[in-house]
Structure 1
Amino acid sequence: MTKQKIVIRVPMNNQKLRNKAMAIAVGVSGVEGTTIKGDNKDQIEVTGEEIDSVKLASLLRKKFGYADLVSIEAVGKTEEKKDKEKAEAIVAWPYVYSSVPHYPVYEIKNEPSCSIM
């Protein structure tokens, strides 16, 4: 399983609101740790495995009225992604324009009326 790092912006003006936000975030299944970030300490960073970011944001919206998902990142498997990108080669097939084949058309003029002769 891959670890995720989710950053959510929530209006937290005092320490009491920050503690409530952290308590809500820790209550979601899969969360391993939370930290408060940002210049105004209005962002909460949540790390863990298989975290439902929509559920977490909706729980924070119920309590605070506003929660904005800033970023969701996968942590740890960056080396494998680089290897996969190098391994994949882009193949560009050339365009082939072929013309319609020409078939000969024969006309018989002065067709005889009796075909037995």
Structure 2
Amino acid sequence: MHRYFMITLLCSLFCLSCSLEASNKEGTVTVMKSLGVKQCEGGSVSAALIQLKNQLLKAQINVLDEKSSDDGMMHIMVCGANTGDIGVFTIPKKQEIKARRLGFELVND
């Protein structure tokens, strides 16, 4: 009897954690913006990512997650050309409009 109770309890907790994770993701959006790093100019991707994050924070937008990535496009290899590095941020959905006003674009999942 005690064993069945424990199994039921564990299954219930597992289902609860899955539903909480799903509802949390529903309330967020992923936005991106070019880091503006140029070839041959020695720009730091991590410094540019911090700068974009600070831009969001200054606008009172909560940053839940951030990472750098690339735009998935090929870029000409010449000094001064864009590297294609982008900053990708997860923010609350209710703050999407504020981020768009700052030039961030919605990432299609």
TM-score by length of 1: 0.40
More helix by share: 2
Structure 1 or 2, whichever has the larger Rg, is 1
Structure with greater contact order relative to length (CA < 8 Å, sep ≥ 6): 2
TM-score by length of 2: 0.42
